[in-house]
Every structure is written in C-alpha cells, then in structure tokens.
A = this chain, B = another copy of it.
Amino acid sequence: MSTQEPEFEPASSENFVNLVRNKIPDEETIYDLAELFKVFGDSTRTKILSCLEVKDLYVGEIAEILNMSISAVSHQLRVLRNAKLVRGTKEGKEVKYALDDNHVMMIIECGLSHLKEDHNHDEHAD
C-alpha cells in the first residue's frame, strides 16, 4: 500500500469499477440514447411534440397552430418519425400524427417537472 495521500477516495478497487461498468448500458445503447435526446433538443420539434401531447393532428393543423409552413412542419415530422417519437396513421389521403408511445410523453413531462423544480441545494451537504 502506498503512503502517498490519495487525491480522492480510493475507488480504485477493480471490483468497484467493474461493478459500475457492468451496470451502465453498453456503448451502442449510450450512443443511441444520446441521439434520441438530440432529437428532443430542438425547440420546434419540442413544440410539435407538445401539440401532439394535446391531441393527434394532421400536418396542416400543426402548421396552423404553430404559425409555420407545412413544409417546415413536414421536415420536422420526418425527423421525429425517423427517431420513432411520432407515428403516422393513414386516414384516406391524409396522415394523422400521434406520439409514438407513452415514453415520449413521459420524457417531456419529466423534463417540464425538472424545469419547474427548485434547485437551490447545490454544494450544500444534505
């Protein structure tokens, strides 16, 4: 054992490090997760998702609600569909859009709750 003062708590047991490593998702999943959150990280897309949280909508309806062009909304809907955050269901000649599943709504709602919280506890011991 070294007599040198450790710079931080001696975490360095192989077991401890491996324990945490084995519990976190693998590299590919972490990458996919970050890519998923990048899709949420755009205010136009977040706005579209918020509209679809209220109700399922056609592209023209979203454009009207958000005062955007249909082509701009369509572009973002394509990104959201590729990321599996929204899905389209054909209704005659039109496609009606909906949030893909409850996870999408939960992610948005958790984000909103987090923003609303009081965060004055940083750097204070519990």
A85-100 contact mask (Cβ, 8 Å, vs B): 1 or 0: 0011111001100001
Measured CB to CB, the nearest residue on chain B to A114 is B103
A115 adjacent to chain B (CB < 8 Å):
yes
A93 shortest CB reach to chain B, Å: 9
A2 adjacent to chain B (CB < 8 Å):
no
A114 shortest CB reach to chain B, Å: 4
Size category of the binding interface on chain A: 35 or more
Complex CA distance for A21 and B88, rounded to whole angstroms: 21
Q: Which residues of A are at the interface with B, using a C-beta cutoff of 8 A?
A: 7-9, 11-12, 16-17, 19-21, 23-25, 29-43, 45-47, 50-51, 53-55, 57-61, 64-65, 81, 84, 87-91, 94-95, 100-101, 103-104, 106-108, 110-115, 117, 119, 121-126
